[in-house]
Structure 1
Amino acid sequence: MRNFWSLAVLGFAIAGVNISLIPDVWVFQSQPAAGAVVSRQTEGGGADAATQLTGESENPEATKQQTVSSFPSLFWDFNNLPEISYSQLLEVLARRADSNNTERETAAQPEDIARFEKVVQYAKQQNLPDRSIGEIVQAIADNFLGKPYAEGLLDKSGAEKLIVTLNKFDCVLFVETVLAIARGVAVQDYDYQNFVNRIEEQRYLNGKMNGYCSRLHYFSEWINDNQKRQTVENITAQLGGVPMNKQLNFMSQHRSSYPQMVKDEATYQCIVGVEADLAKTAVNYIPTNQIKSIYSQLKPGDIVAVATDVKGLDVTHTGFVYRNADGNLGLIHASPAGEVTVAYDLQRYISRVESAIGIVVARAKTPN
């Protein structure tokens, strides 16, 4: 369990002090103000956000390297206080939100709904439900080729909100969106609200949005949590992966780059607890020079995350295995270079990403 919250903080939460963990509204992309550690954090940190640190040398227009600074660690003294678990605190905060009848607003841009309906019609016309889940994923991903890349979409508003968009993506948002649609298609569920529910299930701890810290910021955490719910299976070890052997603490070590943590000590302590929990789980990866040797074991639609040697970080980017017309395996992804595109050869692409050391692979599971 993530034992890092003091009873003092719990008391503040119960008493009604706003520690910015419970969202006041539930909003889709209609909010004008809205990136993992993988591009769903604000300007610094994470997969795509770390691409700002690492770069992608395959494209000369890739995001340039940036630096992030650390922030003094603690405002409060937690040393001598009793502890409760992370999950216990989230439950208390959730009950508090319910007791206050917190309004949850759900709104969606008409163009997103129209885009969703267009993809659904395509799925029906192509009889996609008759295909494997991986083939469905690739076919759905194809529908978004050329859509623009946009970073930080989930972090442009203060409170955590459920952002859904089908017209622009960061790398994790692209993976989540395609996977959520594909899972619906696999069971012939074409309801837009159910698609939105799947986004929430994939993005947040235990499938429920409960503030900034409940978002699965580290992609290793994203894989672990979705594997618990049988959404995906981490197959990296089966493919011959080797241990990464590093402490994941990029977010806490670059606190000043995350406004949610700068402004809220409780949120910072929550992220520290997430990182402590991640330390209990081994993270494996396939070294770059061995990727081509596992092509025969990969399937179209497999989720690929780019493992990195950036200190404190697990991955810097993510996308899907893509089977080209000639059978060669590439990567379809929302590229920081500008849009959703296909890199023709997976190993060659990874070898050109600065600071990349290999890949982590997860496979979508067929929904019940």
Structure 2
Amino acid sequence: MKTSAFLYPWDVIGDPDAPARIADLGVQQVTLASAYHSTRALTPRHPERRIVTAQHAAVLYPPDASRWAGREPAPYAQTWVDRDDPYGDAAHALAGAGLDVHSWVVLAHNSRLGAEYPHHSVVNAYGDRYPWAPCIARPAVRDYLVALAEEAAARPGTSGTELESCGWYGFAHLHAHDKVTGVGLGDAAQYLMSLCFCASCRDGYAAQGLDADELGAAVRRALAPGWAGSGSTEAGWSGVEKLLGPGLADATLRWRTSAARALQEAAVAAVRAAAGPGFQVLLHADPAPYRSGANAGVEAEHILGVADGVVLPCTGGDAVREAVLGPFAGRSAVLAANFGVVTGMGGAPGTLERDAAHAASLGANQLRLYHAGLASDPDLRAVAEALSRIGR
């Protein structure tokens, strides 16, 4: 089973031992960030540093000035790695160790964009804007994300890409100093909190026969009991229908699905046109179409008619893997099971062999390991041992 480990360029730049260390894990590929959101990351084995602070979403290569001249929004350049082209330099070093390199492109997750262009952000039923979540229904945002995917994916020395957050982003977000868990919100309530009411989405609801003001009032009524108590526990699409009513719920999903498909189809087509034949395009995805976030909600039949396959979140036990892999079973495509291997972040490298076997029994044909740069030495040893047994 082909296996790829996620990495940041700063895990490699300045550490001449990193490429061989990654290759010695037993992986064949690295999924290397070329466009990424803000983060604070540990570099536990780097000879020169221990912390990298990526202060804002940025591209990790020199953006093409002619492509972006006069365009708003446009990508931001990074300043925290002392290289003109950290992605390109890291990709070259990894290829020298015999590793295939795919780009890792984060799209609809960008807090700096939201801060500088607030009108392009998702705005909820209460009028609150989510600066981390650009609204993909806005034409300017969609055009920007498609152009970003085209440029960030098909970098020199890259044979494929994985597009993360190629769809709706919403309420859920790992934010600095979060204080949002005092009232519990199940994923049905989170869907309602993720519905956008910007001008583009209001027009989209109208096209579905909805009055946006009436829809917003319905959302607020549905959520009111949770705010007055200890939260809302409803889960699944049936939970959304319970909160909002089947008619309203289905109409909102039709609009959001059409906007997400438009982005996904355009982004994949642009990447393929730029990269040429044989370039593999995968999406980080969730088979529940109503979900938003890094793993965009999709319908299996549609997305596999667009992309070459999907990367699916498989950390969390047998039931999780069955839920995410089940809708894709029996389909001819790349089905990559993504496992966390950082114990401190909830991963379980010690059960990787068993978990990978279970994923394979459900149709997974590739593995993804998150994240070889962040993992401890014991975690990496457990990964190497598991992969050596899987490869026998």
Give the TM-score normalised by the residue count of structure 2: 0.25
The structure number with the bigger radius of gyration is 2
Greater relative CO, 1 or 2 (CA 8 Å, sep 6+) = 1
